[in-house]
Amino acid sequence: MTLGMQWWTMAAMLLSGIGMGTVFDGYRVVSSELKFPRWWLPVLDIVYWMAAAIAVFRVLYASNYGEVRAYVFIGLAVGVLLYYFLLSKSIMALVKWSIGAVRKLVAFTMKCLHILVVKPILLLYRLLVVTFGFGSAITIFLFKIMLQLVRPFWLLIAWMLRPALRPLGRMLMPYWQRLKLSDRLAHIGQIISRLWGRWFRR
56 lies in a domain? yes
Q: What is the pTM of this model?
A: 0.55
**C-alpha separations of 184 from 156, 178, 188, 190 in Å:** 29, 12, 6, 10
Amino acid 31 reads S
40 lies in a domain? yes
45 lies in a domain? yes
- Number of domains observed in the structure of the chain: 1
pLDDT value for 109: 92
108 lies in a domain? no
Per-residue pLDDT of the chain (202 residues; tens, 9 = 90+): 566 677 777 788 888 888 888 888 888 888 887 777 777 778 877 887 888 888 888 887 777 776 777 777 888 888 888 888 888 888 888 888 888 898 899 999 999 998 888 888 989 988 888 888 787 778 877 777 877 777 777 677 767 766 666 666 666 666 555 555 556 666 676 776 676 666 555 4
- Quick one: CA dihedral 17, 19, 25, 27, positive or negative? negative
For 89, the domain range is: 3-100
pLDDT value for 15: 87
Amino acid 143 reads F
188 lies in a domain? no
130 lies in a domain? no
Task: Say how far apart CA 180 and CA 200 lie, in whole Å.
Answer: 31
